Chains A and B, each alone.
Chain A
Amino acid sequence: MIFHVIRNSAMNLRRDRAALVLTFVLPIAFFSIFAGVFGARGDSRTPRIRLIVVDEDRSDHSAALVAALGKESGLNVMKETADKRAPVTAYDRASAEAAVKAGRAPVAIVIPKGFGESAFAFSSTNRPRMLLLADSSDPIAPQMVTGLLQKVAMTSSPTTMAEAGIGEVDRWSGGLTAEQKGRLAAGLDRMRRDSAAGTGSAVSGALIEVDVRDILGESKKAPLIAFYAAGTGVMFLLFSASSAGGTLLEESESGTLDRLLSTRVTMTTLLLGKLLFLTIVGVVQLTVMFLWGAAVFGLELFSHLGGFYVVTIATALAASAFGLLLASVCRTRAQLGALSTLVILIISALGGSMFPRFLMPEAVQRFSLIAFNSWALEGYLKVFWREEPTARLWPEVAVLVGTAILFTFIARRVARKWEIT
């Protein structure tokens, strides 16, 4: 009898396409997305960190350090501004800080004047203090850069470091003999040859002192809450919009849609009415979410209300059009359930709701821009994290509103199937 139950269940599963998709296609699709995000299709190397370098010292030592940083496979060193609308110039302290604020790189280092002169002084008062400007929304990049800086400092100038060490020994040990000095000089020559041949070994130890400044999160009470609120809020907005869009299917199944369309209500009126209603619900939903974040987690909502509503209205509009589009291409609620789960989980993973986009490989970051929700998250990031003025939100708003128009247009075309048979 158990066998008959199994067989009956198998027959039902075979004919339920929605369940089949959820059972077999969704996990594979999801796995592929995450493998792409984390593993870059089989390449397990950590994504290259964009690092802005400001060389205020302009000494041989600083140049060697910058060159060595450039050779690090984990870093993508940017020495010059890459703004297409302005002439290319070398980064200075201010432009580097602005670039980190704008999200063009998560970290910048400033090699201060005098670094070369006192590069490896053993006296702690004379040690060069390098400045690291960090965007703490990326928790990994500043730490990695600090570590790599120590490594590079030693491997880029081992002979300089040794000479400095010998100088200190000569000074504090009462003077080296001529023979000792001769042997040390021979050793230094060998080091120089090894270094030139690339066979020298690195020595570990924290010799460069780094001052880290979190230029984005330093003034914030709860820096990362906005991320979580936006990520979660947008993902659930997509779910609720697609579910609410499903009322179209319910109305089609129950006959109320047919009846509605026999009154003065046209399909265009109906879709626009539903779009606006879903948008209002979406705005309220996100407002409630962020209010909760403000009340419980200290999210700084009230000081960013203007930007918040600009992004929220555009996001809710796009999500609503997305919900209507999904509903219009489906024939049943079950189909909509399967399709919306599949699409929303994929674009949420891609768009950064589950894993921040800035931690993804660069290629995936670029690709993820096809997910319209990534623009919504970027908008919230600009408002709450980078504190950019509302006018600077135009690219995100344009993409979201454009997406809403496109989705609504397609949904209207597809909805012809309900108009008349």
Chain B
Amino acid sequence: MPPIPLRVADLVKHFGSLTALDGVSLELSEGEILGLLGPNGAGKTTLVRAIAGRVIPEAGSVSLFGVAAAPGDSGSRQKLGWVPQEIALYPLLSVRENLQSFGRFHGLLGPDLDAAIDEALHWSGLADRAGDRTKNLSGGMKRRLNMAAGVIHRPALILMDEPTVGVDPQSREKIYAMIEELRRGGVSIIYTTHYMEEAERLCDRIAIIDRGKIIADGSRDELLRSTIGLERELTVDCGSAIPEPVRTLLSARGATVEGQRVRLPVRDTRREMEALLQLLDAEKIAVDDLSFRKPNLEAVFLHLTGRGLRE
């Protein structure tokens, strides 16, 4: 049985009085994409940098493919690729020259390097811009090149730190397609984001991180089931105050009432919606607005922390 690509055990890191990592542990299987979901400042980047060997944890350990990887030890990280959050490229060099440089720094030479550059250009969709200076690329193209520079040496495990920050929807789709291609190639990926849509779409498993701790870990459905359930939520905004007897009736049906707003988890959408509207009609309570919401990770995060992901 091949060694597990990544095992992180009990990482602790402080920056002054700030606790960035508070005993973080996780594992990543071969070919798996693990989403690290959390708000800004939750500790995602510190965790990624600790795995990349760029942060010295005060406690805990990182092992890559069964080998302990000490901080700053690049030798044990040959199979690791890192796509940092910043556009860490040489702006005056061309696209190809940037890939050449990072390929060489990763130890590639000669035909191997040329093949890796061609592959990276094709993968990132930048083949027709290979000769352009990096500073002249669009934001989305720079992001793609940033990713290509991180995987030029064909690593088996890739750390991607918010690779879609500040990217327009079209470029984002292209980046998703690039990641899907990596998935098909059997690469293991740690993907940090604070966009729950990305985590839901791309990741096999999601670890929710908040204040340096992983507070939930599992597939999307496992996280929903263990927190808010898989039901949709019906929200009704009423046009007048809801009398106490009606509140009692609604609560008995499993609804929550906040002021003039009623929330009700629903499985049989049509039947339960009609029943609720009939009840309100019978009590002469007008309905101003009505909406459905699929259960999502945002709601899971809200449920777990009492705060929104983007707060």
Cβ contacts under 8 Å, B106 to chain A: 263-264
Measured between C-beta atoms, what is the minimum distance from B200 to chain A in Å? 28
If A255-B86, A256-B89 touch, does A262 touch B56 (CB 8 Å cutoff)? Answer: no
Q: B88 near A254 (CB under 8 angstroms)?
A: yes
Those of A228-261 within 8 Å (CB) of chain B: 254-256, 258-261
Whether B53 is near chain A, meaning CB under 8 Å from some CB there, is yes
* Cα–Cα distance between A58 and B16 once the two chains are bound (Å): 81
Indicate if A170 sits at the interface (CB-CB under 8 A). no
A255 touching B84, Cβ below 8 Å = yes
In the docked arrangement, what's the CA distance between A421 and B15, Å? 9
Interface contact B84-A254, CB-CB below 8 Å: no
Residues of chain A with a CB closer than 8 A to B77's CB: 262
A197 located at the interface, meaning its Cβ lies under 8 Å from any Cβ of chain B in the complex: no
Residue A10 at the chain B interface, CB threshold 8 Å: no
Query: Are B74's CB and A262's CB within 8 A?
Result: yes
Do A264 and B54 have beta carbons less than 8 Å apart?
A: no
Chain A residues with CB under 8 A of B15: 421
Docked pose: A262 CA to B86 CA in angstroms: 14
Complex-state Cα separation, A266 to B105, whole angstroms: 10
A391 at the interface (CB under 8 A from B): no
Query: Which chain A residues border B89 with CB–CB below 8 Å?
Result: 254, 256
Complex: how many Å from CA A150 to CA B197? 97
Give residues 394-421 of A contacting B (CB, 8 Å). Answer: 419-421
Chain B 142-191 interface residues, beta-carbon cutoff 8 Å to A: 149-150
* CB atoms of B74 and A421 under 8 A apart: no
B74 touching A266, Cβ below 8 Å: yes
Complex Cα distance, B86 from A264, in Å, reads 20
Interfacial chain A residues near B102, Cβ < 8 Å: 259, 263
- The number of inter-chain residue pairs (CB within 8 angstroms) is 58
For the complex formed, measure the closest distance between the CB of A10 and the CB atoms of chain B, giving whole angstroms: 31
Q: Does any Cβ of B come within 8 Å of A265's Cβ?
A: yes
Number of B residues near A (Cβ < 8 Å) is: 28
Bound Cα distance from A256 to B105, whole angstroms: 12
Q: What 0/1 readout, one digit per residue, does chain B (70-111) give for beta carbons within 8 Å of chain A?
A: 011010011010101111111100000000001001110000
Q: Which of A264, A265, A266, A420 contacts B55 (CB 8 A)?
A: A420
CA distance A421 to B107 in the complex (A): 25
- Report B307 CB to chain A, min CB distance, Å: 27
What CA separation (Å) do A395 and B49 show in the bound complex? 47
Q: A419 vs B55: C-alpha distance in the bound complex, in angstroms?
A: 9
Q: Is B52 an interface residue (CB 8 A)?
A: yes
Residues on B with C-beta less than 8 A from A419 are: 72
Verify B105–A263 contact, CB threshold 8 A.
yes
Asked if B54 and A256 make an inter-chain contact with CB atoms under 8 angstroms apart, the answer reads no
Q: How far is the CA of A258 from the CA of B161 in the complex (A)?
A: 14
Q: Which residue of B lies closest to A260 (CB)?
A: B105
Q: How far is the CA of A256 from the CA of B91 in the complex (A)?
A: 10
Across the interface, do B107 and A259 meet the contact criterion of CB distance under 8 Å?
A: no
Question: Which of chain B's residues have a CB closer than 8 A to the CB of A420?
Answer: 53-56, 71-72
B74 and A256 form a contact (CB under 8 A): no
The CA of A259 and the CA of B84, in the complex, are separated in Å by 8
C-alpha gap A106/B311 in the complex (Å):
76
User: For residue B153, which residue of chain A has the nearest CB?
Assistant: A263
Residue from A254, A265, A266, A421 within 8 A of B54 (CB atoms): A421
Query: Across the two chains, which residue of chain B brings its CB closest to A253?
Result: B86
Bound together, the chains give a CA A255 to CA B54 distance in angstroms of 12
| Inter-subunit contact A259/B71 (CB<8 Å) | no
CB of B76 to closest CB in A, whole Å: 12
Closest B residue to A421 by beta carbon equals: B55
Interface 0/1 of A261-305, CB less than 8 Å to B: 111111000000000000000000000000000000000000000
Q: Are A262 and B82 in contact (CB under 8 A)?
A: yes
B81: nearest chain-A partner, CB-CB: A262
B53–A256 CB distance below 8 A? no
From residue 103 to 133 of chain B, which have CB atoms closer than 8 A to chain A? 105-107
| 8 further contact pairs, Cβ within 8 A, besides A420-B56, A421-B54 | A255-B84, A255-B87, A258-B54, A258-B84, A259-B150, A261-B54, A264-B74, A421-B49
Rank and list the top 7 A-B pairs by shortest CB-CB distance, nearest first.
A255-B88, A255-B86, A263-B105, A259-B88, A256-B88, A420-B72, A263-B106
Name 19 interchain pairs, CB-CB below 8 A, sorted by A.
A254-B89, A255-B88, A256-B90, A258-B54, A259-B88, A259-B149, A259-B150, A260-B105, A261-B54, A262-B52, A262-B53, A262-B74, A262-B82, A264-B107, A265-B74, A420-B53, A420-B56, A421-B49, A421-B55
Q: Which A residues contact B (CB, under 8 angstroms)?
A: 254-256, 258-266, 419-421
* B positions within 8 Å CB-CB of A: 15, 49, 52-56, 71-72, 74, 77-78, 80, 82, 84-91, 102, 105-107, 149-150
